[in-house]
Amino acid sequence: MELIFELSKRGRRSYRLPKLDVPEVKPSEFVPEGYLREELDLPEVSELDVVRHFTKLSQRNYAVDTTMVPLGSCTMKYNPRINEELAEIDSLRDVHPLTPEDFVQGSLRIAYELKELLKKLGGFADVSLQPAAGAQGELLGLLLILAYHRDRGNKKRKVLIPDSAHGTNPASASICGFEVVTVKSDERGEIDWEDFLRKLDDETAALMITNPNTLGIFEGKVKEMAEELHKRDALLYMDGANFNALVGVAKPGDWGVDVMHFNLHKTFSTPHGGGGPGSGPVGVSERLKPYLPVPQVEFDGEKYYLDWDRPKSVGRLLSFWGHYGVWLKALAYILSWGKEIDKVAKFSVLNARYLRELLRGVLHDPFPDSPCMHEFVLSAVNLRKYGVTAMDLVKRLLDFGFYAPTVYFPLTVREALMIEPTETETPTTLERFALAVRRIVKEAKEKPDLVREAPHRTPVGRIKEAEANRKPVLKFRP
């Protein structure tokens, strides 16, 4: 396929502007010397060239609109288009965040109702909508824990984190000045109870868990963990990345979880990837409620307003209030499901368990006796004897029209494949995916070079990922 620069023909235009009705101003009057170029070297193409070029490019993408994207931990499910239309309503989209409260009661009501629904779904005393993404929600959660301990005069400095955790967990703890202590996983893929008790001491500020964890397995002793932590005035943080498996079925607040971030862009309908958009609201127990960031959206029975009167608050995370468009989509998604929102969790778990069963005996299952929740981890370690890796397998999957699952994560499983089908895929799609994996495993035994050299049918062949990241080509070279 040609680059748009190669389509360029001098004199072609895709638009025509009317004559100026104001005095012309030279850019050099405003731009410092040395920063202005006479020619921008932009391609000269017709509107039809532009439309066709970018339409063809879009058709070469692997996206939820065109194929299954089983990225474990990411929850890349189909999102209803009506939510996108709602987010484009200009009276909501174009509101300036500094508009006086009396003129944006509708916008504030949307924020307030979303906050109240998240409180109910999570079982929390309060929720802050401010964090712009899950990682920032983690950061806020650790800042709240830090504020809690400082307020009580505690000099706790350790945060316990399972060895299967997502990398942002220890990163967030380190940014807040905590010492990270790793807790081992047991043979079932859960936190090793004895190792947890051994490393829990009076210097422990918190335990960070994901539940279901990053292996797709439910931490069955979560209540007992919370009890042991609270005995030592330590707190329980839960990463909400996998809340898709729980929504409408279980409330982490009921287990003793003190703080959890929700990933609205995963669980509650916002397309994500490629840098955004995201939103990571944080729910808290009564212990942490006084420290939530300002402002909090509240309702006094007559008027919605932003509450700044929080003397123990950790402050603000953003210049303004949060990612409003994502809030709007999340609220629409929750209301559209209504009392049936538990089906999101039930079908996501059902799909994962069905697909895992379809792949039984095809790839190595590191935790065969542990039932999975909304995702599961298999290993391609059984293909190594043919010289085929997990990366080779997923590259070959591209030839069958499927996007790759997450590979080499969690780090506790060799040649890991982390697969999450989500609730929006049909059994037919799951069966096609399983057939593709079975065929690739058969090819690995009979024609390993075919798999090692994949993909064969994509616009670009096998890329050296590490080199592409270290030495990206960011300029057009004619």
Residues 295 and 427 in one domain: no
Residues 329 and 367 in one domain: no
Residues 373 and 425 in one domain: yes
pLDDT for position 45? 94
Residues 310 and 240 in one domain: yes
Q: Give the span between the Cα atoms of 265 and 419, in whole angstroms.
A: 18
pLDDT for position 273? 63
| Domain assignment present for 424 | yes
| Domain assignment present for 71 | no
| Domain assignment present for 302 | yes
| Domain assignment present for 65 | no
**pTM of the complete model:** 0.90
Last residue of a domain, one of 13, 35, 59: 59
Residues 374 and 245 in one domain: no
Instruction: Judge contact between 410 and 433, C-beta under 8 A.
Output: no
464 contacts: CB under 8 Å, gap ≥ 6? none
Residues 198 and 254 in one domain: yes
Helix, strand, coil % over all residues of the chain, rounded to 5: 40, 10, 50
Identify the DSSP state of 163: T
pLDDT for position 205? 98
Neighbouring-strand partners of residue 357: none
pLDDT for position 476? 53
Instruction: Judge contact between 311 and 147, C-beta under 8 A.
Output: no
DSSP string, 370-395: SPPSS-EEEE-GGGGGGT--HHHHHH
For 440, the domain range is 342-470
| Domain assignment present for 90 | no
Cα atoms in the 13 Å half-sphere on the side-chain side of 474: 4
| Domain assignment present for 75 | no
Last residue of a domain, one of 339, 362, 380: 339
Residues 198 and 241 in one domain: yes
pLDDT for position 385? 97
Angle in degrees, 0-180, between the axes of helices 105-122 and 324-337, rounded to the nearest 10: 60
Domain count along the chain: 3
Region for residue 273 given its phi and psi (left: phi exceeds 0; alpha: psi -120 to 50; beta: otherwise) = left
pLDDT for position 37? 67
Residues 133 and 271 in one domain: yes
Read off the CATH number of the domain in which 423 is found. Answer: 3.90.1150.10
Read off the CATH number of the domain in which 190 is found. Answer: 3.40.640.10
pLDDT for position 28? 79
| Domain assignment present for 196 | yes
Instruction: Judge contact between 100 and 405, C-beta under 8 A.
Output: no
Instruction: Judge contact between 294 and 317, C-beta under 8 A.
Output: no
Instruction: Judge contact between 118 and 265, C-beta under 8 A.
Output: no
Of 387, 298, 329, 381, nearest to 108 by C-alpha is: 298
Last residue of a domain, one of 319, 339, 359: 339
Residues 287 and 359 in one domain: no
Residues 429 and 454 in one domain: yes
Of 15, 18, 40, 14, nearest to 27 by C-alpha is: 40
| Domain assignment present for 66 | no
Residues 247 and 385 in one domain: no
Residues of the chain with pLDDT under 50: 478
Longest dimension (CA), the chain: 77
Residues 416 and 280 in one domain: no
